[in-house]
Amino acid sequence: MRKIVVSTFLSLDGVMQAPGGPGEDPDGGFDQEGWSVNYWDERMGQIMTDFMGTPFDLLLGRKTYEIFAAHWPHAREDEGAGPLNAATKYVVSTTLASADWSPSVLIKEDVVGQITDLKQQDGPDLQVHGSSRLIQTLIAHNLIDEYHLWIFPLLLGRGKRLFDEGVIPAGLRLIDTQTSTTGVIIATYEPAGAIQHGSFALDQPAAEVEGRPELGTDGPGAAG
């Protein structure tokens, strides 16, 4: 069995849309494309190299697949192209007629069922990058095994969010965290089951202190 690992750049207010540059994803009139670029440092580069250095396949939505397919087949090995080109790309799309960035496999029907079957197979973990709409489906069906979140110290106000409305309430467990010199927090979480509820309410009202009446009783400052 293999894991589905979501690796996502996020603003502090949870926006994941178009971190990489102009033209990446202007949907909805989003005008802050490329917001992550000026935070990059050597430590982040090393963390990303380590993350991409273990065997993996890719699980991508149509838009992210098209962005990757237009770039990585033409990139150099020293730019990190090798592992991405070698990985099997599982592409979720109802509109693509073919996926020509080899090796690629189109998933057009029974998305949840096919992805569930993929998880049951032997093979490397399935990394999800970008793919905001696909991620919502994965979250809704409890298919994500790990979140690798790059949290940037800025607020975008609007845009596509990783955890959008309708997310099923659930706990997460922090399993690793690192921080860049520019203040980016790289945190890894895994699901931790149902939320455990509690209360900070006192078991009973506090007793009077040094003879002073409790709030709500007659005394200085009490409402008339």
Confidence of residue 212 (pLDDT cuts 50, 70, 90): low
* Residue reference for tokens 């992210």: 64
126 by DSSP, 3-state: which? Answer: strand
- Cα–Cα distance between 184 and 187 in angstroms, integer? 10
* Lookup: tokens for 185: 């927090």
Is the confidence at residue 142, as pLDDT, over 60?
yes
Pairing of strands 146-152, 185-191: antiparallel
Please give the pLDDT value at position 165. 81
- Cα–Cα distance between 131 and 16 in angstroms, integer? 10
Is the confidence at residue 178, as pLDDT, over 60?
yes
CB atoms within 10 A of CB 61: 20
Closest CA to 25 of 163, 159, 165: 159
Confidence of residue 206 (pLDDT cuts 50, 70, 90): low
Taken in order of first residue, the domains within the chain and their CATH numbers are 4-191 (3.40.430.10)
**DSSP letter (8 states) at residue 119:** H
Please give the pLDDT value at position 189. 98
Whole-number Cα distances in Å, 29 to 17, 18, 136, 158, 160: 11, 12, 21, 10, 11
Closest CA to 144 of 135, 153, 156: 135
- Listed in sequence order, the residues at least 6 apart from 67 whose beta carbon sits closer than 8 Å to its beta carbon are 24, 130
Q: Are 116 and 59 in contact (CB under 8 A)?
A: no
Please give the pLDDT value at position 186. 98
Q: Are 161 and 14 in contact (CB under 8 A)?
A: yes
Is the confidence at residue 220, as pLDDT, over 70?
no
Residue-wise pLDDT for 20-56, tens only, equals 999 999 999 999 999 999 999 999 999 999 999 999 9
pTM (predicted TM-score): 0.87
Residue-wise pLDDT for 115-138, tens only, equals 999 999 999 999 999 999 999 999
* Lookup: tokens for 173: 């467990």
Please give the pLDDT value at position 164. 86
